[in-house]
Amino acid sequence: MASGIKDKVAILGMGCSKFGERWDASAEDLMVEAYNEAMTDAGIQPSQLGAAFFSTHMDDVGVGRGGTPMSIALRLPNIGVTRVENFCAGGTEAVRAAVYAVAAGACDIAIALGVEKLKDTGYGGLPTATVGTYIPQWYPNAVAPANFAQLASAYRSKHQVDAQLLKRAIAHVSVKSHANGAKNPKAHFRSPVSEEQVLRAPIIAEPLGLYDCAGVSDGAAAVIVTTQEIARSLGKKDLITFKALQIAVSNGWEMQSNEWDGSYLHTTRIAAKKAYAEAGIEDPRKELSMTEVHDCFSITELVTMEDLGLSKEGGGVKDVLDGVFDAEGALPCQIDGGLKCFGHPIGASGIRMLYEMYLQLQGRADARQLANPKLGLTHNLGGQPSQNVSAISIIGRADA
């Protein structure tokens, strides 16, 4: 029986670039920005890095393939740099690799860095990724908003939720994230919006409007991990450790069998159960202090609350409208603005979620600081509702 990852690895340092339309910065510049902050925070020299894991999704508008772009941009000391790609969950996947490398004793200190440069496409929204030679011959020319919008249609039908009520609930999700993002100097979007603005916005994919969709941003984030012993030997106190790291990937069941009802994320439920078990959490709604979930679209966040067991099934609408996940609520979600407002540079997003969690747990989140958080969960989703990658990490104070 595997003993799991709980408390075996600690965060030594983190960094995150300003997210947004970074016309001024190349992917390489963004990497340097996040790396500098993380290395300063960790207080180490490049020669102390034993392995690097590099998350980036798009080839055509990014840095191309392989590990060399990171190694060259950061002038790394000829260590192994592994490119990790797992759709929008690549960031957490890179973290998992770094954490496992340290836990295995293969190296003392490892870095995971994610970057995405999306604003060199010339248009809004995500670029279309290539999917091989077979899928394009039958699969729709689908875009993310319409893939995730389908959750709304199936959710409404399953739980008999009035279309207007669901629209208002998901609007609340975005209003909350905008309010949070306004307090975050590194966020892409920093203006509060009203529910009316959200409801009136142009439709992107029925029933999702402009404000139901996350920002498409440039940005980079990095995390440096090591063992608790090494962290302490380097002078670190009040360590933040990994309690769980779980990834679940679709095997085609949702997309091909007739059993999935389209209203929830099958892999998130599986990954969440495993993560809670690994972390020793029995009542996540009570034990977690905060979450950063993959709110690529407002409906995704609402459904994810149920899949993580934080709302009961069919209860997401009420909890959202009751403000449970607002900054002042019982279980704040996206206190940094989330994908919605901090932004969504794909390969970096999973690490950005950890970054906020890390700041909060250390009491360094300035205007956004929550009162005494102990344990937080990140949920990083790649793909689309009917076939995807769900990556969950739980981190907390070493003594929590």
Partner 1 sequence: MSDARSDTKNGPIGILGYGGYLPRMRLERSAVAQANAWFAPNFAGKKGTRTFANWDEDSITMAVAAARDCLGAGEDRSRIKGVTLASSTLPFAERMNSGIVAEALTLDDDLETLDLTGSQRSALAGLAQALSKASSPSATGEILVLAADDRQTRPASAAELEVGDGAAAILVGRGPRDRVLAELLGTGTVSVDFVDHFRPAGEDVDYVWEERWIRDEGVSKLVPQAIERALTAAGIGAEQIDTFVFPSTLAKMDAQVAKACGIRPDALVDSLASGIGDTGVAHPLLLLAHALEKARPGQHILVAQFGSGAQALVFRVTDAIGSFRPRVGVSGWIARGVSEANYTKFLSFKGSLVLEKGMRGEQDKKTALTTLYRHRKAILGLVAGRDEATGAVHFPPSRLSLSGNSAGAPPVGTPAQDSQRPYKLAERGAKVLSWSAEYLSYHPSPPNHYGQVDFDGGGRILMEFTDITKGEIDVGTPMEMVFRIKDKDEKRGFTRYFWKATPVRSASTPEKKEH
Secondary structure string (H, E, C) spanning 250-315: CCCHHHHCCCCCCCCCHHHHHHHHHHHHHHCCCCHHHHCCEEECCCCEHHHHHHHHHHCCCCCCCC
Closer residue to partner 1 in complex, CB, 254/356: 254
CB 280 within 8 A of CB 322: no
**Residue that the structure tokens 């860095």 belong to:** 113
Cβ within 8 Å of residue 389, ≥6 positions away: 86, 87, 88, 89, 93, 247, 248, 249, 250, 267, 381, 382, 383
CA distances from 269 to 92, 98, 327 (A): 17, 24, 24
User: Taking the complex as a whole, how short is the minimal distance between the CB of residue 390 and partner 1, in angstroms?
Assistant: 11
Describe the crossing of helices 163-181 and 144-159 by its angle, rounded to 10 degrees. Answer: 130
Q: Does residue 345 have a cis peptide bond before it, meaning omega lies within 30 degrees of 0?
A: no
What is the Cα–Cα distance from 337 to 341, expressed in whole angstroms? 5
Which parts of this chain interact with partner 1 (CB under 8 A)? 121-123, 125, 128, 133-134, 136-143, 145-147, 149-154, 156-157, 202-206, 208, 248, 251-253, 255-264, 266, 269-270, 273, 307, 385-386
Shortest distance, position 252 Cβ to partner 1, whole Å: 6
Nearest to 185 by CA among 356, 354, 24, 326: 356
Shortest Cβ 224–partner 1 spacing (Å):
33
Nearer to partner 1, 114 or 209 (CB): 209
Which of residues 17 and 217 has its CB atom nearest to partner 1 in the complex?
A: 217
Q: How far apart are CA 329 and CA 336, in angstroms?
A: 15
In the complex with partner 1, the residue whose CB is nearer, 16 or 270, is 270
Lookup: tokens for 28: 């390489």
Q: Which residues are catalytic, by number?
A: 88, 344
Instruction: Report in angstroms how near the CB of residue 123 gets to partner 1 at its nearest.
Output: 4
Taking the complex as a whole, the smallest distance from the CB of residue 384 to partner 1 amounts, in Å, to 9
Residue closer to partner 1, measured from CB, 134 or 367: 134
